A and B are shown apart, each in its own frame.
Chain A
Amino acid sequence: MKRRSIIAATAVGAISALLISACSSSSSSSGSSTTPTTGAVAFNAGISNVVNPSSTKGGTLTFDVRGTPDSFDPGNTYYAWVLDFDHLFTMPLFGYKSCPGSCGEQLVPDLATSMGTTSDNGLTYTVNIQPDVKFENGTVVTSQDVKYAIERTYDRSVMANGPTYYQALLTDPTYPGPYKDRSKNLMGLTAIDTPNATTLVFHLQSAFPDLPYVLAFPNTAPVLPSADTGSNYQLHPLSTGPYMFKSYALNKQLVMVDNPNWNPATDPNAKQLATQIIVNMNVNQADIDNNLIAGNADIDAYGAGVGPAAQARILGSSSLKADADNPINGFGRFVYINTKVAPLTNLHCREAVEFAANKTTMQTAWGGPVAGGEIASTIDPPNIVGYKSFDYYNALSQPAGDITAAKQQLALCGQPNGFTTNMAYRSDNPQETAEATALQASLGAVGIKLTLKGFPSGPYYTNFAGDPAYVHAHDIGLAGGGWGADWPDGYGFLDELLNGNAIAATGNTNISEINDPVINNLFAQSSKVSGATRTAIWSQIDEAAMKDAVILPAVYQKVLLYRNPAVTNVYVQSYYGMYNYAVMGVSS
């Protein structure tokens, strides 16, 4: 739902922003489960099989990562790779089943004993936690520790990075957090009750069927109040997972070792195979790729794929290619079309943009079919529950652009010779820059003159593309961007993009500023139904938004991941669209 726009831009360029969710090419429901299989080492073997299965203990597993984490504090992170990585030292209430293929989209209990129960017309949600899980210091985890972990996310002056669902979903939205409210033994949040040491009762403002997905974020991993050091907690979060921090030089290197108080029986979604884990941070992409191929590093933790030089090298060598995977990672790249900036206030003008855009050159801008992704004709990527394939603007049948249809729409829009508008894009993102240039060329063919306005990634969503006042004042009709769901269903992907309620004065995520009563009503309905009826709503919203022509889809993003042949138990976890870091080992 909320943007996982992981900022992470490196000076060298490469793919910016975050990665999230799933990779499977199927549109299976989250409830489905396929049997994990093991297979030979081969290209794409890690998408649906466990590569190099092993239960051998030993060795050092080395991760390299470009950039730095937003935070290793489980309550203060939104970066996709950190969400994946956190499972090595945390146990949230729920998690995604550790298995390859669509099986990995299935939500399962982690610290919790079951998926919980809903009562009171969906306004109360009760979940129990395992009674025998311990922190690394031997203290038994209680429900109060989970409540405290959630409480601390309310203080945005300290926990600025993580998601903010609790304030929006739970009662007591103005709770200031335990740092400001020291009353009631730090248990001041009235929206969560802890009647005993293993039970949590959540009180919701209104029914929200996706709450278990929210509780799968690492911010539900327990935090012992006496061990909470606030902004310094990121330097040594108290582990409940298989590994614990041995040393962490902020933004440089993390070393983790076995957590002696971790019990594998309580945490089936993680393994403790390597004896040591090292994360080298701020390594440039070329170095990472060379280190992986040379065997100096095991996995690129960022999960956004290898750089251009390594892509050519890997795809050109059958032996290297056998150690690579090319999954769809659940991230959509597209261009927002603003419905409040003239002449794009007119539906036909927006449709002209949809038809005229050359999707092939946009795909090339994002890196081509392997490193960029598949040409998209919908907003939802294929691995989102509720995805339905359709192609209203001939993106798949005429990927170079449907000039005839575009000109017809221009005529209907009253601008037969085209019009002028501005496009915002992140100028420090080479792919998005190339996309803007490609779009400028293809729209120019039908007389739509695009003036490109580049902005830095950092304040892009706060001060420029995500600031409606700025957008209106500067006639920014189009804006480049991307999106990944916080969880793999239609609500998780579409709500922040298309719900009229999501329009905000700053950090706006509904950049098209679409406030369509039909779509808003569909979102409202979705919280009252479940199962297939609910799933069907997601495709209805996607279709309605595409008929409104408020988003120009570019690609369903794919990445080329490389796994060091020494890594064992390696596969792509569908939800993250990157390797599952919690189960890996390494052969000596």
Chain B
Amino acid sequence: MIYFIIRRLIMTVFLLLLVSLITFAIFFLVPRLAGQTTYQLAAQYVGRNPIPSEIKAVEVKLGLNAPLYLQYGRYIKGIVAGIHYNNGPDVSYCPFPCFGYSFRNQQPVWPQLISDAPVTLSIAAGAAVLWLIGGVSIGVLSALRRGSFFDRLSMGVALAGVSLPVFFTGLIALELFSYKWPIFPNVHYVGITTDPLLWARNLVLPWITLAFLYAALYARLTRAGMLETMGEDYIRTARAKGLAERKVVVKHGLRAALTPIVTIFGLDLGLLLGGAILTETTFSFPGLGQFTILAIQNQDLPEIMGVVMIASFFVVIANMIVDILYAVVDPRVRF
């Protein structure tokens, strides 16, 4: 098992390198192929009416004048060993893992990512708990009461949940529960260390909004899985042996139906940790999602690179954990 994990870790590193290479090529190579010069790129970051020498100075400062392979090498070196950057009167050091230096904010990218990550983590973790418990419970109950009023109602609501985008349900939730009936007034992000109660109170609406979307999806998946599993021969056998129905459902039915749910859960959570863009934008929470939007708006390439790498990291790690869990469940995949 240990060798399997080591192999997966090595693969993960290679995968992240590949992601960084592709991302770098998209944002640095493609514009060049499209005819954009590094001089033009630098001109975007030097304010209004710059004279050529000023643009050249910025081009040099941002390292845009170097060959692409050197820029990429410098980028990777920064992640591994940190970089020094000129902040004006001094040269500052951005330690490992330094994801470069923001063209717009004139600050290293990594500290910004780190300061935004708790916001996204707060949203994603709370919502994940809600949607997993809610979605799976509803899915199981619907499967066990197939065709009942509850089944039809819950699946109808689930269909709506899957269909309605977060920015719609989020705005409705805010309008109703924050402004019309101020049960959750003045929703804005507060750090958990600043005020844990306020942190939780202000996150209730984002959690519910996000969980509504995912719970609907998970309810439908769980229901389908349970319906299939509960029709298996071994379930009939378990019942024939006189096992309590609760044990049949939970131990034999749900356990088997959960396997694909766990896989998808890992991927969904990994993706969300890279930035719950719509939820953060709707509720104006300053997390990685908002960071991503700003980076794209500002065409701040190091920031875009940084957020893509972080998002990839979470997805790859989530994948790895799922693979390891699979290996635990089914030892055949280790070989």
Cβ-defined contact, A463 with B45, below 8 A: no
Q: Which of B12-27 contact A (CB under 8 A)?
A: none
Stretch of B53-61, B66-74, B226-234, B308-316 with 4 or more beta carbons under 8 angstroms from chain A: B53-61
Distance between B70 CB and nearest chain A CB, rounded to angstroms: 19
Q: How far is the CA of A1 from the CA of B33 in the complex (A)?
A: 36
- The residue among A10, A230, A504 with the most chain B CB atoms within 10 A of its own CB is A230
Stretch of A151-159, A408-416, A549-557 with 4 or more beta carbons under 8 angstroms from chain B: A151-159
Question: Is the C-beta of A377 less than 8 angstroms from some C-beta in chain B?
Answer: no
Q: Which of B37-69 contact A (CB under 8 A)?
A: 40, 43-52, 54-55, 57-58, 60-61
Which residues of A have CB within 8 Å of B83? none
Cβ-defined contact, A463 with B40, below 8 A: yes
- The residue among B48, B52, B58, B298 with the most chain A CB atoms within 10 A of its own CB is B48
The main secondary structure of chain A at its interface with chain B is loop
Nearest B residue to A154, CB-CB: B54
What 1/0 flags go to A254-292 for Cβ under 8 Å of B? 000000000000000000000000001111101100110
Cβ-defined contact, B36 with A179, below 8 A: no
Cβ-defined contact, A11 with B112, below 8 A: no
Q: How far is the CA of A290 from the CA of B52 in the complex (A)?
A: 45
Which residues of A have CB within 8 Å of B179? 290, 293-294
Q: A294-B179, A506-B55 are in contact. Are A232 and B87 (CB under 8 A)?
A: yes
Q: How far is the CA of A585 from the CA of B286 in the complex (A)?
A: 27
Q: How far is the CA of A178 from the CA of B50 in the complex (A)?
A: 19
Question: Is the C-beta of A296 less than 8 angstroms from some C-beta in chain B?
Answer: yes
Question: Is the C-beta of B249 less than 8 angstroms from some C-beta in chain A?
Answer: no
Q: How far is the CA of A249 from the CA of B188 in the complex (A)?
A: 15
Q: A231-B106, A251-B294, A459-B299 are in contact. Are A160 and B88 (CB under 8 A)?
A: no
Which residues of A have CB within 8 Å of B79? none
Q: Which of A57-110 contact B (CB under 8 A)?
A: 67-68, 71, 78
Nearest B residue to A173, CB-CB: B51
Which residues of B have CB within 8 Å of A569? none
Cβ-defined contact, B182 with A504, below 8 A: no
What 1/0 flags go to A152-183 for Cβ under 8 Å of B? 10011110111110010000000000110000
Cβ-defined contact, A155 with B299, below 8 A: no
Nearest B residue to A11, CB-CB: B293
Cβ-defined contact, B48 with A296, below 8 A: no
Q: How far is the CA of A5 from the CA of B44 in the complex (A)?
A: 13
Q: How far is the CA of A157 from the CA of B47 in the complex (A)?
A: 10
Question: Is the C-beta of A3 less than 8 angstroms from some C-beta in chain B?
Answer: yes
Q: How far is the CA of A280 from the CA of B36 in the complex (A)?
A: 36
Question: Is the C-beta of A241 less than 8 angstroms from some C-beta in chain B?
Answer: no
Cβ-defined contact, B49 with A230, below 8 A: no
Cβ-defined contact, B297 with A160, below 8 A: no
Q: How far is the CA of A290 from the CA of B205 in the complex (A)?
A: 16
Nearest B residue to A177, CB-CB: B88
Cβ-defined contact, A10 with B297, below 8 A: yes
Question: Is the C-beta of B186 less than 8 angstroms from some C-beta in chain A?
Answer: yes
Question: Is the C-beta of A509 less than 8 angstroms from some C-beta in chain B?
Answer: yes
Q: A157-B61, A459-B44 are in contact. Are A283 and B105 (CB under 8 A)?
A: no
Q: Which of A97-139 contact B (CB under 8 A)?
A: none
Cβ-defined contact, A252 with B46, below 8 A: no
Q: How far is the CA of A394 from the CA of B282 in the complex (A)?
A: 44
Which residues of B have CB within 8 Å of A167? 51
Which residues of A have CB within 8 Å of B148? none
Cβ-defined contact, A294 with B89, below 8 A: no
Q: How far is the CA of A445 from the CA of B160 in the complex (A)?
A: 46
Cβ-defined contact, A68 with B294, below 8 A: yes
Cβ-defined contact, B107 with A296, below 8 A: no
Q: How far is the CA of A152 from the CA of B87 in the complex (A)?
A: 12
Which residues of A have CB within 8 Å of B55? 506
Which residues of B have CB within 8 Å of A504? 49
Cβ-defined contact, B281 with A2, below 8 A: no
Q: Which of A6-24 contact B (CB under 8 A)?
A: 7, 9-12
Q: How far is the CA of A506 from the CA of B58 in the complex (A)?
A: 15
Q: How far is the CA of A307 from the CA of B92 in the complex (A)?
A: 41
Nearest B residue to A4, CB-CB: B48
Question: Is the C-beta of B284 less than 8 angstroms from some C-beta in chain A?
Answer: yes
Which residues of B have CB within 8 Å of A461? 48
Q: How far is the CA of A280 from the CA of B190 in the complex (A)?
A: 12
Cβ-defined contact, B89 with A157, below 8 A: no
Question: Is the C-beta of A462 less than 8 angstroms from some C-beta in chain B?
Answer: yes
Which residues of A have CB within 8 Å of B61? 157
Cβ-defined contact, B174 with A463, below 8 A: no
Cβ-defined contact, A296 with B47, below 8 A: no
Q: How far is the CA of A193 from the CA of B335 in the complex (A)?
A: 78
Cβ-defined contact, B44 with A509, below 8 A: no
Question: Is the C-beta of A40 less than 8 angstroms from some C-beta in chain B?
Answer: no
Q: How far is the CA of A162 from the CA of B49 in the complex (A)?
A: 10
Question: Is the C-beta of A250 less than 8 angstroms from some C-beta in chain B?
Answer: yes
Which residues of B have CB within 8 Å of A160? 45-47, 58, 106
Q: A230-B87, A231-B88 are in contact. Are A294 and B40 (CB under 8 A)?
A: no
Question: Is the C-beta of A507 less than 8 angstroms from some C-beta in chain B?
Answer: yes
Cβ-defined contact, A162 with B185, below 8 A: no
Which residues of A have CB within 8 Å of B87? 158, 229-232
Starting from the known contacts A157-B58, A229-B90, A507-B48, 5 additional A-B residue pairs (CB-CB under 8 Å) come to A152-B88, A158-B88, A291-B186, A458-B298, A509-B49
Chain B residues within 8 Å of A, Cβ to Cβ = 36, 40, 43-52, 54-55, 57-58, 60-61, 86-90, 92, 105-107, 112, 115, 171, 174-175, 178-179, 182, 185-186, 188, 281-284, 286, 290, 293-294, 297-299
Chain A residues within 8 Å of B, Cβ to Cβ = 2-3, 5, 7, 9-12, 67-68, 71, 78, 152, 155-158, 160-164, 167, 178-179, 228-234, 249-253, 280-284, 286-287, 290-291, 293-294, 296, 456, 458-459, 461-463, 467, 496, 502, 504-507, 509
| Selected A-B contacts with CB under 8 Å, 29 pairs | A2-B48, A156-B50, A157-B54, A158-B86, A160-B45, A160-B106, A164-B48, A167-B51, A231-B88, A232-B107, A251-B105, A282-B290, A283-B284, A284-B281, A287-B284, A290-B175, A290-B178, A291-B186, A294-B185, A296-B186, A458-B298, A459-B40, A459-B44, A461-B48, A462-B43, A463-B40, A505-B52, A506-B43, A509-B48
Which 5 pairs, one residue from A and one from B, show the smallest C-beta to C-beta distance?
A230-B88, A231-B106, A156-B54, A296-B186, A230-B87
